[in-house]
Amino acid sequence: MYRLFLSLVFLPFFLNAEIKLASLFKDSAVLQREMKVPVWGWAKANSKISVSINGKSAEGTANAKGEWRVDLPELKAGGPFEMSISDGSSKVVLKDILVGEVWICSGQSNMDMGHGGIPEYKPIVKESESLPIRSFMVEKFVAFEKQETLNGVWEKKICNSAVGASFSYHLQKALKVPVGIIQTSWGSSSLEGWMPIEFTEKLPYFKKVMADFEKNDRQKVTDLLKDCRNKAGKITWARKDNIYMRTRPNILYNAMMHPLIPYACRGVAWYQGEANTRSLETMLQYKESLQTWLKYLRKSWNKEDFQLMPVMLPRFNRVHRGGSSMETDHPGARSWAYIRESMIGITELPNTGIANTIDLGLLKNIHPKDKFPIGHRLTQLALKNVHNMDVLPQGPTYKNLSIESNKAILSFEHAKGLKTKDGNAPSSFWIAGEDKKWFKAEAKIKGDTIELSSKEVAKPIAVRYAFTAFPTVNLVNEANLPALPFRTDKWAP
């Protein structure tokens, strides 16, 4: 109720108060270059608002509630600058403002995971001290209603997230402009925790999720929000209560995502999904939910090319009962292969991409430390999809299957320089005939195609690649990016 109370008193308080800015507009902020920059806040009702930075300015008028927003014209990368906001009788000056590339990094524990203790990060953390890289850490909190403010400050350092740190470092080195990362992530959180309440009308299963929340959780959340801060403002939940709060639906979106809208940025790098692997059903739901979420974010930011770049879940020994196998390397198992497939489904929408991690991960550790290459792969996607640079954005991607006698022939996109990283034959290919029984295939590279065959399958009709919990893979392109997992069939698990 703490945040709900604030939202009820916040706007009336500012009807006759001096100017106040939205939460992200603070000293040392990074503003997005080359697009209109919304600046908003609260001031005296009907007051005239002017905003200026580096010779660019915009004006507007606060409404009867004291709410205002102005849109600065496109800014060029650079800084540091001072940014001035005035309502005629009072003035706020923000110092040390940079203009460059701004991204949100969100998700659960693997996005939240820090880079301390990962050797690869020591040199880049040191180097980044002299680079124009900044970060904003959103406080982990929840709310029943959509909030207008949140807690956090801009820091002149690389962000805590290992994935976000690598992403910002590689992006800055490639573009030579300032980079700002807004980190809003929380371990154990499901996609449903980041969904707005409107999804109860779009996704029937989410309507049931929220009905269960109202029946079983609302009172406990209400109780935990009462007096949850000490005199210093620090949250005092016990660990079990902290975990409980972060695993509830909708309330993370209200407190940790909604207040960021419409801060100018390129989009969201998203590393989440582990909490949605509870069953085959939840893994299959993920595709529609993620697509619906992106459409909502694009509408909220009023930006058709707002990016969403999920990090595909890496290899991990997690298999559910009910498949034709319980083996971690068999394509008939009900494994994380299905949520990876759902995540790849985001690429059916324009201006999207996915960071492939099928060559990463650990068999028994859901929090692997191989985060550094993920940031580089996110950067490759951003360079291609946002900045139209001539780079290979991802590894070989399945395009077409043809059958020639007892052989299956696969063609790929992004297949320039198709090869294996160890010089051996391509691994983790499986083929099946009409009996739907899977057998390991002998694979050969033929130019930019792959030829598959098996003594056990006289007439192949379907192929699966790396469609297992923990595949051993070696197929890459000339950029050494791994081939994306796929299946050519639509057979029910």
What pLDDT sits at residue 9? Answer: 42
Q: Count structural domains, the chain.
A: 1
pLDDT of residue 17: 56
The candidate with the shortest Cα–Cα distance to 151, out of 79, 215, 77, 235, is 235
Under a CB-based contact definition with an 8 Å cutoff, are residues 275 and 185 in contact? no
Spatial separation of the C-alpha atoms in residues 388 and 372, rounded to whole Å: 23
- Residue 453 inside a domain? The answer is yes
Q: Which long-range contacts (CB under 8 A, 24 or more apart) does 170-173 make?
A: 170/375, 170/376, 170/378, 170/379, 171/101, 171/103, 171/379, 171/382, 172/101, 172/131, 172/132, 172/133
Cis amide bond preceding 262, omega within 30: yes
Residues 6+ apart with CB under 8 A from 271: 105, 106, 107, 108, 110, 111, 163, 185, 310, 311, 374
**Alpha-carbon distances, residue 199 vs 6, 208, 218, 254, 350 (angstroms):** 25, 11, 18, 13, 21
Question: Would you say 180 and 164 are in contact if contact means Cβ atoms under 8 Å apart?
Answer: no
Structure tokens at 409: 């022939």
- The reply to whether 474 falls in a domain is yes
**What pLDDT tens digit does each residue of the chain (493 aa) get?**
444 444 444 444 444 458 999 999 999 999 999 999 999 999 999 999 999 999 999 999 999 999 999 999 999 999 999 999 999 999 999 999 999 999 999 999 999 999 999 999 999 999 999 999 999 999 999 999 999 999 999 999 999 999 999 999 999 999 999 999 999 999 999 999 999 999 999 999 999 999 999 999 999 999 999 999 999 999 999 999 999 999 999 999 999 999 999 999 999 999 999 999 999 999 999 999 999 999 999 999 999 999 999 999 999 999 999 999 999 999 999 999 999 999 999 999 999 999 999 999 999 999 999 999 999 999 999 999 999 999 999 999 999 999 999 999 999 999 999 999 999 999 999 999 999 999 999 999 999 999 999 999 999 999 999 999 999 999 999 999 999 999 999 999 8
The residues facing 58 across adjacent strands are 51
Give the pLDDT score at 8.
43
Helices (H), 176-252: 204-216, 218-225, 239-246, 251-252
* pLDDT given for residue 4 in this prediction: 44
The boundaries of the domain holding residue 446 are 397-487
Closest by alpha carbon to 190, among 141, 252, 255? 252
Q: Is residue 210 part of a domain?
A: no
Are 356 and 297 a contacting pair, CB within 8 Å? no
The Cα–Cα gap between 300 and 265 comes to 13
Element (H, E) at 417: none
The model's pTM is: 0.95
Question: Hey, what are 68's tokens?
Answer: 């205002």
The reply to whether 480 falls in a domain is yes
Q: Is residue 205 part of a domain?
A: no
**Length in residues, the chain:** 493
Establish if 425 belongs to a structural domain: yes
Residues near 289 by Cβ (< 8 Å), separated by ≥ 6? 191, 192, 195, 199, 203, 206
Beta strands per DSSP E along 22-74: 30-32, 37-42, 48-53, 56-61, 67-72
Closest by CA to 3, choosing from 180, 199, 138, is 138
Distance CA 269, CA 103 (A): 7
Q: Which two tokens stand for residue 454?
A: 């098996």
| Residue 326: inside a domain | no
Instruction: Read off φ and ψ for residue 278, nearest 5 degrees.
Output: -65, -30
CA distances from 364 to 32, 318, 368 (A): 40, 9, 9
Would 454 be classed as within a structural domain?
yes
